[in-house]
Amino acid sequence: MPKQDTVKAGKDHPLLSRFAGAKLVGYAAKEFDAASLVAGKVPDDAKRKPEKELALEGRTTRLIYNFAPERSGLEVMRNHEAALQAAGFITLFSCATAACGKDFGEMMLARIDAHMIEGSTAYWEPFNHGRDAERYLLARGTRPDGSVVHAAIYVVDPVDKRNGGVLLDIVEARAMDTGKVTANLSAETMAKNIASEGKVAIYGVYFDTDKAEVKPQSKAALDEMAKLLKSQPELKVYIVGHTDAQGTLAHNLELSQRRADAVVKALEGGYKIDGRRMLAKGVASLAPVASNDAEAGREKNRRVELVKQ
């Protein structure tokens, strides 16, 4: 085992510390990406695919550790499990050795990118030699702000006096950074949607998490909303704020109302739109347009709508 971490730019995740004495040999993190976490055993059908997987999106962190051969995989896993339980995480799936399926270790070995392991190839070997002495745990937790975090822990025993290995995948649900690519609806398109459907969803109005201040990046969308209202002086609209289903309904109702009020204030103060033509309403998560079970759906549900009065 290395005397120190071989990863120069990596660090432990603040959610879950490493097992005492383990060394970090692999690290990768992305602010927003897709991740597929194993959520079931591998059937004996030679396909080496789990019965169930969780398709997630958010901030992804992958950490790979080696630990000393004097410690057991069971001890390492139990310590991680206890830490997650203390943090209020719920176990979604767990297995050990044969209960995982005979090809579980082979499948996980294929999922471990040897190129991200920094240092000697010996630091990758635990996952090869220990692939038939594995333990796995998938758990879900909720942060105080209501956002969901998933943690997957894969541990292989030290075999033939080699190191043991830990693979830790953490996916934190979060909205993708916006403003990297803009594609705001034009005033003309908004007008057509209102004429045909009586409403139009606006995704270019941005707020920080749990905040109701309209961000500067919202200017392009506000410009088009104001252009629409100025082009149709008789048009009166509801400015409706929508949230996803994370957090309590009472809190989200209050938050969505404040956000709707903020949009009215921005249009009234910045564009001189008569406030009597706009009525702000917050409806929280009561009118979703997609499932709130995944971040992609929650992102669609977070929106502002113009609804014709």
pLDDT tens track, the chain, 309 positions: 889 999 988 999 998 999 999 999 999 999 999 999 999 999 988 788 999 999 999 999 999 999 999 999 999 999 999 999 988 899 999 999 999 999 999 999 999 988 889 988 899 999 999 999 999 999 999 876 667 899 999 999 999 989 999 999 999 987 545 444 444 678 888 898 899 999 999 988 989 888 999 998 889 889 999 999 999 999 999 999 999 999 999 999 999 999 999 999 999 999 999 999 999 999 999 999 888 888 778 888 999 999 999
Residue 17 lies in a domain: no
Residue 50 lies in a domain: yes
Q: Which tens digit of pLDDT belongs to each residue from 107-152?
A: 999 999 888 899 888 999 999 999 999 999 999 998 766 678 999 9
- Look up the CATH number of the domain holding residue 289: 3.30.1330.60
157 in the same domain as 36: yes
116, 139, 172: which is the final residue of a domain? 172
275 vs 264: CA distance, rounded Å? 7
Return the exposure string of 237-261: e unless at least 16 CB atoms fall within 10 Å of the residue's CB, then b: bbbbbbbbbbbeeeebbebbbbbbb
144 in the same domain as 251: no
- Give the domain range for residue 297: 187-308
Residue 237 lies in a domain: yes
Return the exposure string of 282-302: e unless at least 16 CB atoms fall within 10 Å of the residue's CB, then b: bbbbeebeeeeebbebbbbbb
Greatest C-alpha distance within the chain: 81
Q: Which amino acid is at 232?
A: Q
224 in the same domain as 95: no
pTM for the predicted model, two decimal places: 0.60
159 in the same domain as 193: no
152 in the same domain as 27: yes
β-bridge partners, 238? 279, 307
303 in the same domain as 202: yes
143, 172, 201: which is the final residue of a domain? 172
> How does DSSP classify residue 290?
S
Residue 78 lies in a domain: yes
Beta strands in the chain (DSSP E): 23-38, 53-67, 90-96, 134-142, 148-156, 164-172, 199-202, 237-242, 278-282, 303-308
- Domain count of the chain? 2
172, 198, 225: which is the final residue of a domain? 172
Count CA atoms within 13 Å of residue 60 on its CB side. Answer: 13
220 in the same domain as 157: no
210 in the same domain as 121: no
